[in-house]
Chains A and B, each alone.
Chain A
Amino acid sequence: MTLAPGRGKKVKLDRLAELSAVRDDERGVSLWREAMRRLRRNPAAIVGAVILVLFVLVAVVGPFFVPYGTTDTMGIREGVVKSGQGIIPGPSADHWLGYDHQGRDEFSRLVVGARQTLIVGIVSTLIGLTIGVFLGGLAGAAAGLGGRWGRALDNVLMRIVDMMLSLPSLLLAVSVAALLGPSIVTVMIAVGVVSVPIFARLLRGSMIAQANRDYVLAASSLGVRGSKIAISHILPNSLAPVIVQATLTLATAIIEVAALSFLGLGNPDSAVPEWGLMLADAQPYLGIRPGLAIYPAVGIIITALGFTLLGEAMREALDPKLRR
């Protein structure tokens, strides 16, 4: 750092004073703005965000531009597809990804499948999020602010959550699915239920930690009511990890839906394409046309990766320990 050339020492001394003044302008930056700044500089976050934007674009807009209908079994009609004899034509000029085992255009199904996969992922995550946040928030607020009855309520709620956790996720999903019969809604609910304990625990832990902080003590000593403290003060500060977790859960939701479809619990009718279902249906034809499995699998992997990259980057960005 060199001083600007000036007329003699007096200028230099004035510059000194200037420099000392300049350094006092550091203002506090909010957690969110700081996080956005860090995210923008993180290459993984950018890659994740790009993938997501592409995925959402394809899912929302794609279906309007596909060349063929997704239920049109043209391959069988035209006689080119004979899955029983092991003939399923691959990519060609007319059909960019070829036909699937029922003679439908694979490319169109893949694009439309993106939409269904997105919907399924979002809905199941939302189910888990809403129920989990409600349970966890209630438990956390009760434990932090409610005194003896609050702690008892917290105990009961957490026992329920523990019960849900006492089963491996797949078995829990299977039990739910068995109750409701195979359908896409079943799968969404099942996967949603599996993620409830995660959100509940997360929010509860976050709220309890916040409830012990000094600003809560200050608010309550000023006479602010417990419920108001919980909603206006504690909840906003506890939301950051929940948002991170929601993003990560979206990734696993998509994969778990695929697993449940693979096990036969999803929509038995493959008319509406969904990547997990397409992957499951393609298993018998792996020898003849592995592409039928590879395309949706790659789609799932890349999309899940996108959500995961973004989620992990957000977790790092929002980590208060890393703030300078």
Chain B
Amino acid sequence: MALLDVQDLSVTFARRGQRTVHAVDGVSFNVDAGEVVGLVGESGCGKSVTSLALMGLLPRQRGVHVGGTANFDGTDLLSLDQRSMRDVRGRDVAMIFQDPLSSLNPVVPIGLQVTEVLVRHRDMGRDAARKEAVELLDRVGIPDPRRRLKEYPHQLSGGMRQRALIAMAVACQPRLLIADEPTTALDVTIQAQILELLKELVRDLGTALIMITHDLGVVAGMCDTINVLYAGRVVETARRRELFAGRRHPYTEGLLASIPRLDAGRGEKLTPIRGSVRDVLPWLDGCAFAPRCDRRVEACVGEPPAMVPTHTGHEYRCVNPVPLASKEEAGA
């Protein structure tokens, strides 16, 4: 049984005088205990909104509608009221965000921002919480943690801030951790360190991790299963090796092909995906990727393509998928 089973998640934003935006348009995926799952896609494909919906953090306004189910260990997260959701957040499911500086309260010391999670969910007293906070900060690799407790976010470096946020997230040993572009705002060298840290924690605590990113490199190094999103829907799901070796969806193919390679010859042009994210067809009217797809055929327009399942668990939403290179590779 999967730890988290998301079925047909949809999020729509309706505003007066503007077109309804289907940010998430029927997303389904699962996460097993201890597994690292990637949600990959360009900006605007709905991956962040998905995570916010799961956490119940979408603005509670009239125009926002969330549909579908998200079964977390027996409970549908989407049906919980705010109060119950507050108990779940931080304790069972935790999240870290993209920009560590703006994600920290500038006028409260770091120590307090860590201990408040411990006090809230594990009912710890102040001194016990402080001791635990020191250990947590140490565990995430922050040097001299005792001194850091009293410091403010602006006194820490970018990498240390993100580490602190990770410490806050794992303080109560949640069963699921969601990381939304945790390294995008950081220097490249720090990126690698943070990703290593996440991998360690996942391994040591047995936490499942949903890794949201647009960077296939990150995904290649970390994820067990990868879901590729486009225009609010999952277009391909596969285990890591299968995705990179035998991708089927043209969009995935496009993403992989557009990555600059060190071993490419000089003067060789880069191959981006033609068109832009705005050149989209609504899923109702066919395949959303059709306007940009080189493999487009008549069947792509008119009916939304369904997910094609395979015996390996690799699924893709395409009627004219990228052909497998050879029988041997497919079977590997």
Identify the A interface with B (CB < 8 A): 1-3, 9, 12-13, 16-17, 19-20, 23
Residue of A at shortest CB range from B285? A3
Q: Please state if A20 and B291 are interface contacts (CB–CB under 8 Å).
A: yes
Which residues of B (254-306) have their CB < 8 Å from a CB of A? 275, 278-279, 281-282, 285, 290-291, 296, 298, 301-302
Q: A174: shortest Cβ distance to chain B, in Å?
A: 41
- A16 near B290: Cβ-Cβ < 8 Å: yes
A23 close to B301 (CB less than 8 A): no
Q: A9-B302, A17-B291 are in contact. List 4 more A-B contacts (CB 8 A).
A: A2-B285, A9-B301, A13-B301, A20-B291
> Does the CB pair B302–A12 fall under 8 Å?
yes
Between A and B, how many residue pairs show CB distances below 8 Å? Answer: 27
Contact B302 A23 (CB under 8 A): no
| Contact with A23, one of B278, B282, B290 (Cβ below 8 angstroms) | B278
Q: Which of A1, A13, A23 contacts B279 (CB 8 A)?
A: A23
Q: Can you list 9 A-B contacts (CB < 8 A)?
A: A1-B282, A9-B301, A16-B290, A16-B301, A17-B291, A19-B279, A19-B281, A20-B275, A23-B278
Rounded to whole angstroms, the CA-CA distance of A3 and B282 in the bound complex is 11
Alpha-carbon distance between A187 and B16 when the two chains are bound, in angstroms: 48
In the bound complex, residues from chain A placing their C-beta under 8 Å from that of B281 are: 16, 19
Interface centre among B282, B285, B302 (most CB of A within 10 A): B285
Considering the chains assembled together, what is the distance between the CA atoms of A272 and B248 in angstroms? 87
Asked if B291 and A12 make an inter-chain contact with CB atoms under 8 angstroms apart, the answer reads no
Roughly how many angstroms separate A2 CA and B279 CA in the complex, as a whole number? Answer: 15
**How far apart are the CA atoms of A3 and B281 in the complex, in Å?**
10
User: What is the distance, in angstroms, from B156's C-beta to the closest C-beta of chain A?
Assistant: 28
Chain A residues lying within 8 Å of B296, measured Cβ to Cβ, are 13
Alpha-carbon distance A286/B260, docked complex (angstroms): 84
Distance in Å from the Cβ of B76 to the closest Cβ of chain A? 32
Q: Which residue of A lies closest to B17 (CB)?
A: A41
A21 → B minimal CB distance (Å): 9
Q: What is the bound-complex CA distance between A9 and B302, given in angstroms?
A: 8
Contacts of B291 in A (CB 8 A): 16-17, 19-20
Q: For the complex, give the distance between the alpha carbons of A46 and B34 in Å.
A: 59
Q: Bound complex: CA of A245 vs CA of B281, how far in Å?
A: 47
The list of the 5 closest CB pairs from A to B, nearest first, reads: A20-B279, A9-B298, A12-B301, A16-B291, A23-B278
Residue of B nearest to A10 (CB): B298
Please measure, in the bound complex, the distance between the C-alpha atom of A217 and the C-alpha atom of B302, giving whole angstroms: 54
Complex CA gap A3/B284 in Å reads 11
Give the residues in chain A near B279, CB-CB below 8 Å: 19-20, 23
Shortest B12–chain A CB gap in Å is: 14
Chain A residues with CB under 8 Å of B278's CB are: 20, 23
Which B residues lie within 8 Å of A17 (CB)? 291
Chain B residues, Cβ within 8 Å of A3: 285
CA distance A3 to B285 in the complex (A): 8
Considering only CB atoms, which chain B residue lies closest to A21 in the complex?
B279
Closest Cβ neighbor of A8 among chain B residues: B298
Report the Cα distance A12→B286, complex, angstroms: 11
Residue of A nearest to B297 (CB): A9
Kindly state the separation between the CA atoms of A217 and B93 in the bound complex, as whole angstroms: 50
Interface residues of B in 80-125 (CB under 8 A from A): none
Specify which chain A residues have a CB less than 8 angstroms from the CB of B298 in the assembled complex. Answer: 9, 13
Query: Which chain A residue shows the least CB distance to B19?
Result: A1
**Min CB gap B231→A, angstroms:** 13
Complex Cα distance A23/B279, Å? 8
Complex-state Cα separation, A12 to B301, whole angstroms: 8
Chain A residue at minimal CB-CB distance from B281: A16
The residue in chain A whose Cβ has the minimal distance to the Cβ of B298 is A9
Query: Shortest Cβ distance from B228 into chain A, in angstroms?
Result: 22
- State in angstroms the CA–CA spacing of A23 and B291 once bound together: 13
Of A2, A9, A23, the most chain B CB neighbours within 10 A belong to A9
* Distance in angstroms between the alpha carbons of A3 and B303 in the assembled complex: 13
- CA A139 to CA B19, docked complex, whole Å: 48
Question: A36 to chain B: closest CB distance in Å?
Answer: 18
Q: Which residues of B contact A9 (CB under 8 A)?
A: 298, 301-302
Give bound CA distance, A1 to B21, whole Å. Answer: 12
A199-B239 Cα distance, complex, nearest whole Å: 64
Give CA–CA (A17, B275) in the complex, Å: 10
Q: Which residues of A contact B301 (CB under 8 A)?
A: 9, 12-13, 16
| A41 and chain B: residue at smallest CB distance | B17
Distance between Cα atoms of A2 and B285 in the complex (Å): 7
Q: Which residues of B, 302-316, contact A by the 8 Å Cβ criterion? A: 302
